[in-house]
Amino acid sequence: SGILCTATSDRCLSGPCQNGASCVDTVDDYACICPTAGVRYMGKNCDQLYDACFFAPCENCSSTPGSAEYRCICADGLTGDNCTEEVDECLSGPCSWPRSLCVDQPNRYFCRCPEGFGGRDCRTHVTDCIDAPCENNGTCVLQPEGFECVCAPGFEGKMCEEDVDECLSEPCQNGAICTNGVAEFHCFCVPGFQGYNCELDINECASRPCENNATCINEKDHYQCECLGGFAGVNCERETDECESSPCRNGATCRDLVGMYACECVPGFHGPDCSLDVDECASEPCQNGAACHDMVNSYDCDCSETGFEGDHCETDVPECASNPCQHGGRCLEQVKGYACVCWPAAGYQGANCETDINECAEQPCENGECFERYLAGYLCQCHPGFAGENCSVNIDECESEPCQNGATCEDLTNAYSCLCSAGFQGE
């Protein structure tokens, strides 16, 4: 009695099944039923091409994607669709010799031969190896038509009678000498190699032959040392004298160091090899605008045209000390020279008051002769009828009223003329 309730899912509503597959709702899930016609699919959603080998019907399976067909590649001794059946190697009748019996085994067979015969197919007379025909420890093997000798190492030939020359294959390497022996060879290595075939290069650097922290490079049959700076020789055992090439210049002293040298420069030079002249003018030792000329370990100040003197042109030259100003002129000190202030009363001019001033050169006397004074100035001697410092004043002779009786006086140059009134005459 009672009611059984089962829950169904609605997961098929989203259409999860592909390639025409049918969707079936299950409890809490769904299932896709893939179509079997045409191209086949597999997978939860029928979204993968069908792989018939996916289910491993055999060990070596080959299939076409989308097809239910497959092919099994069977190993030797097996047959059938899925390689599950064993092949009967005796079906082909391999033991054909009379009274021989074929016995089938997995992937092989063997023949049970009648007395006096042997071999795989019972065709070999077993008496061929009784006399031990194989030399030098060769092994006799019966064959259908006789026997065969399997030779021991170092021998060859039908009866293993020939010694193999192991040196023909040139087993010795790196120029070694090969010596042939019985089933063996010996290599005599050249210096620098070792090993049975002289194949191993001896590491000559193992003994650390390089000195003074040099790097050892192992090469065939020898080594080479890469020396650090300052060392030389096959093993870098000798310190090099960097001063040997006289690298220091201008009389400098060379001091040899490890891997280098140092130059002790004489005064006036500097630089790693003392090739650079020290510029003593770089500090501008010359003063007051003087030109500096660099010299070896010294300098020279050119004080000319500066008005100064001294090693550094630091002292003002006293140009007035020699009293260059003449005729009472006053000397004034100046930069790069002096100046003369001439005394006006002396009557001289020029840089040193050396030139007498010619006061008459400009003819200051208008109506007379000019005469220079002793110290300075000039004196005019006026012509008759003129007066004044420069004889520029015309003397008025009428001023003394020389005309009488009411006559009119007319002033003339250095003279006068009377215009007499009526009834009078005379000068």
Does residue 50 share a domain with residue 97?
Answer: no
Whether residue 120 is found in the same domain as residue 65: no
Q: Over 50: is that where the pLDDT of 284 sits?
A: yes
Query: Which regions of 8-60 does DSSP assign to beta strands (E)?
Result: 22-26, 29-33, 41-42, 48-49
The secondary structure of residue 237, as a DSSP letter, is -
Q: In this predicted model, which residue has the larger pLDDT, 315 or 120?
A: 315
- Residue 1 banded pLDDT, cuts 50, 70, 90: very low
Express as a percent the part of the chain with pLDDT over 70: 94
Does 34 share its domain with 78? yes
Last residue of a domain, one of 105, 125, 145: 125
When pLDDT is cut at 50, 70 and 90, the band that residue 24 belongs to is very high
User: What would the mean pLDDT of 22-51 be, rounded to a whole number?
Assistant: 90
Q: What is the pLDDT of residues 68-100, one digit of tens each?
A: 888 998 888 788 888 888 888 888 888 877 778
Give the start-end residues of each E strand in 157-207: 162-163, 177-181, 184-188, 193-194, 200-201
In a domain, 407, yes or no: no
The CA distances from residue 23 to 17, 28, 36, in Å, are 6, 14, 15
Closest CA to 125 of 96, 151, 146, 98: 146
Domain with 342 in it: what CATH number?
A: 2.10.25.10
Instruction: Indicate the pTM of the whole model.
Output: 0.29
Residues 83, 53: Cα–Cα separation, whole Å: 14
Residues 6+ apart with CB under 8 A from 3: none
77 and 103: one domain?
Answer: no
Looking at 125, 148, 173, the residue that finishes a domain is 125
Weakest mean pLDDT among 159-163, 176-180, 266-270, 336-340: 336-340
- Tell me whether residue 276 is in a domain: no
* Domain contains 213: no
Same domain, 42 and 92: no
| Burial of residue 49 (number of CB atoms within 10 Å: 0-12, 13-18, 19+) | middle
Largest distance between two CA atoms of the chain: 225
Among 26-35, 187-196, 351-360, the least confident range: 351-360
Contact 380, 370 (CB under 8 A): yes
| Domain assignment of residue 416, yes or no | no
Integer Cα distance of 23 and 86 in angstroms? 44
Asked if pLDDT for residue 7 goes beyond 60, the answer is no
Which residues are CB-neighbours of 223 under 8 A, at least 6 positions away? Answer: 204, 205, 209, 210, 216, 217
In a domain? residue 279: no
Burial class (CB in 10 A: 0-12, 13-18, 19+), 335: exposed
The CA distance from 90 to 83, in Å, is: 19
Rounded distance, CA 158 to CA 52, Å?
A: 56
| Total domains, the chain | 3
CB 122 within 8 A of CB 103: no
- Cβ neighbours, 10 Å, residue 380: 21
Residue whose C-alpha is closest to residue 390's, from 376, 411, 418, 369: 369
Domain end (from 33, 66, 85): 85
| pLDDT grade for 292, boundaries at 50, 70 and 90 | very high
Domain coverage including residue 329: 318-356
**pLDDT (0 to 100) of residue 31:** 92
Indicate whether 55 belongs to any domain.
Answer: yes
Residue 70 lies in a domain: yes
* Same domain for 54 and 33: yes
Tell me the residue length of the chain: 427
Grade residue 145 by pLDDT with cuts at 50, 70 and 90: low
Tell me, what's the pLDDT at 396? 83
Q: Is residue 34 part of a domain?
A: yes
Residues 64 and 105 occupy one common structural domain: no
Predicted confidence at residue 179, as pLDDT, reads 92
Rg (CA), the chain: 72
